[in-house]
Chain A
């Protein structure tokens, strides 16, 4: 089975710009979550999508937004980038919204200068 894939692997942006990160869910998974992992810290929950609708959001401002497509792939968009947005962004997929483990991709490392 195909695992979770994310693109790009690395990205460098300037403060104030906008960025789109992409994720393809593991085959058969219909739920996708996004996490932000700052250097030296554990991941922080950004939001989750189930059946193309956002059904949970962490403590992140509205300039963090997302989409889930009918094929269950997903995008994370960040507007008006700030220096503190520099982090590893992890996408995770699972089946349903129950207790099944999250399966993560390799992440996109975003650097904001």
Chain B
């Protein structure tokens, strides 16, 4: 069965960096894109972008360029989200979501990773 498991909560100071992992299993890793979705406290879902698991090519949504980097380690079927120069407004839950094969919806989601940025 498909599983998407993310790393645990993080508490970081402003200006620091954080790297969130998203480990998948139960399917061929390179057949489906992986997307990142942000949810600020009490707010809705915001699509951050996706990474092509075949080529490693990332695509970033508006507002998520520069400090945000998507990467892969295909040997362990894992995607990563790195955020640098953290700000208080980066405090949110970050979800990894699998893009359904040849489709435009998200069929499996990780449990989410809470990133808290506070001095």
Chains A and B belong together in one complex: no
Interface residues of A (CB under 8 A from B): none
